[in-house]
Amino acid sequence: MTQSPELLRRLLRAKDRMDGASHEEWPVHRLAQVSAVSEAHFARSFKDAFGVPPHRYLLTRRIERAIALLCDSDLSITEVAFQTGWKSLGTFGRIFHDITGETPGNLRARERSVLHGREPVPECVVRAAHRPDLKIAVSEKRREKRVERIEPQSTEAI
């Protein structure tokens, strides 16, 4: 189903607001108000237009911002978590690890050790290259990891 240009402009308005203030709370009802459509229509249309639900899109932006702050600032991990919109350090750490595969501290240490021999690269290029892949929900990623740990790794004949 093709969306009208007017609806796409409205959805982009909400997406731009999330991009500009990803540290803020963006429940569907607030985003629907920005877009001037119903909540159900907004959620369905946003996913159709951008390939991910609004909440997952917001998580992507928050993690991108957190990665940039971890690599480019001396803020503590707690300050990074709160500046990027997380209410709990534990939730930030768990979701960050689920999405990136490493803890915020490990990412910071690895990036800082690698940066010493690199030429400066524009931040937009770095962000695009390191954009988290949130094609599936974080809870689905966790479930897949649990299944991988439970299933035998060997395929030898019994």
- The ranges assigned to domains in the chain are 5-51, 56-150
Distances, alpha carbon 109 to alpha carbons 35, 38, 51, 104, 116, in Å:
40, 44, 32, 9, 12
Q: Are residues 72 and 80 in contact, defined by beta-carbon separation less than 8 angstroms?
A: no
Distance between CA atoms of residues 90 and 156, nearest Å = 40
Helices assigned H by DSSP within 3-137: 5-20, 28-35, 39-50, 54-72, 77-83, 89-100, 104-115, 123-129
| pTM exceeds 0.75 for this model | no
CATH of domain 56-150: 1.10.10
CA neighbor of 45 nearest in space, from 53, 56, 33: 53
* Residue-level pLDDT, tens digit, the chain, 158 residues: 578 999 999 999 999 999 999 999 999 999 999 999 999 999 999 999 999 999 999 999 999 999 999 999 999 999 999 999 999 999 999 999 999 999 999 999 988 887 655 666 777 777 777 777 667 777 777 777 777 777 655 555 55
